[in-house]
Amino acid sequence: MKSIKLITEDKPGAMADIVDLLAGQNINIQKIEGEVVDRFAVFELVVDRLDDAMHLFHQHGMRAVSDDLITIRIPDQPGALARVTRELKDAKLSLRGISTLQRQDGYCFVALSTDDDAVARELLKDVLL
Query: Domain boundary residue among 51, 68, 85?
Result: 68
Q: Tell me, yes or no, whether 74 and 35 share the same domain.
A: no
Q: Tell me, yes or no, whether 40 and 97 share the same domain.
A: no
The number of beta carbons lying within 10 Å of the beta carbon of residue 119 is: 14
The confidence score (pLDDT) of residue 31 equals 92
The confidence score (pLDDT) of residue 67 equals 79
Question: Which position has the higher pLDDT, 67 or 60?
Answer: 60
Residue among 39, 51, 49, 48 at smallest CA distance from 14: 39
Q: b/e for 23-61, b at 16 or more Cβ within 10 A?
A: eeeebeeeebeeeeeeeebebbbbbeebeebbebbeeee
The confidence score (pLDDT) of residue 11 equals 93
Q: How high is the mean pLDDT of the chain?
A: 92
The confidence score (pLDDT) of residue 52 equals 97
- For 110, the domain range is 70-123
Q: Tell me, yes or no, whether 6 and 63 share the same domain.
A: yes
- Per cent of the chain over pLDDT 70 is 100
Does residue 95 surpass a pLDDT of 80?
yes
Q: Tell me, yes or no, whether 32 and 84 share the same domain.
A: no
Q: pTM of this prediction? A: 0.67
CATH number of the structural domain spanning residue 85: 3.30.70.260
Does residue 111 surpass a pLDDT of 80?
yes
Q: Give me the phi and psi of 19, to 5 degrees please.
A: -70, -30
The confidence score (pLDDT) of residue 65 equals 84
d(CA 80, CA 115) in angstroms, rounded, equals: 21
Q: What is the mean pLDDT of residues 104-123?
A: 92
Coil, helix or strand for 36? strand
Q: How many domains does the chain have?
A: 2
The confidence score (pLDDT) of residue 68 equals 81
The confidence score (pLDDT) of residue 101 equals 76
